[in-house]
Amino acid sequence: MTVINGTTPVYGVIGNPVAHSLGPLMHNRAFARVGHPGVYVAFKARDIGPAMDGIRALNIQGLSVTIPYKETILPYLDQVDDAARNIGAVNTVVNDGEKLIGYNTDAYGAIKALSEKTRIKDKDVVIIGAGGAARAIGFGIIKEGGRLHVINRSIKRGEKLAEFLGASFHPPAKFNYVPCDILINTTPVGMSPDIEGMPIPQEQLNSHMLVMDIIYNPVKTRLLESAEKIGAGIIDGVPMFVYQGARQFELWTGLNAPVDLMKNVVYEALGE
């Protein structure tokens, strides 16, 4: 059991909302497993600027960054890792004692999860969404040699992301005309409590696709259920969540993350 006192290193997730996050459960169990004396909490931030002032003043040692601050946090950091700067989004902050340094582990987590199931090089990969997670995953796909296509309801945002990544853009109505070996949903459509939602109609799926949803609650979204019913391969959101979190853990502590424990903790919490 971690002894909490005046010297305990504090870490946390910053976003709005954050009450649903499984980060505290996952990271605190991981800290306990390896004997790291830290504690990880959730910070609901209504305004990123004052929140970051507080992070500095309180000497918070590390942060996970979630919706809606992955892009807007950049100006409040002292340094940003090259990959995160290229992506244009940060999901991890390390306090090295003098500087707040931003990283992006979303791309790492997504590629690690995908690579367990398929080769990415020379595959047609369709990403639904145009937010910070889509930017990170798209960057990773391009780096791995995949052919990237962006689908998004907002044409302006979708076109902007596609141009940034060197990908093609298509509105949802044109999905059937886009070649697709791997489909990745990065939107919150289908997330609890609105679990009946799907980012594309069921009839646009086919058995030759590998379908990944970065939502992890529920573990099997309606999109994944529909894909599985027609014989498509599926990847739920837990592996990406765990792998990106494991990389955060290692950046903060310098220790090897107990990945299997972290994965089991998350699945157990979700009733799997």
Residues identified as active-site: 70
Burial 32-60 (b: 16+ CB within 10 A, else e): eeeebebbbebbebeebeebbeebeeeeb
CA distance 147 to 144: 9
Q: Among 55, 58, 92, 57, which residue's Cα sits nearest to residue 74?
A: 92
Residue type at 64 in one-letter notation: S
- Whole-number CA gyration radius for the chain: 18
What sign for the dihedral angle of Cα 267, 268, 271, 272? positive
Q: Is omega for the bond preceding 68 within 30 degrees of 0, making it cis?
A: yes
Q: Answer whether 246's CB lies under 8 Å from 223's CB.
A: no
What gap in Å lies between CA 28 and CA 208, rounded to an integer? Answer: 39
DSSP sequence for 154-207: SHHHHHHHHHHHT-EEE-GGGGGGS--SEEEE-S-TT-TT-TT--SS-GGG--T
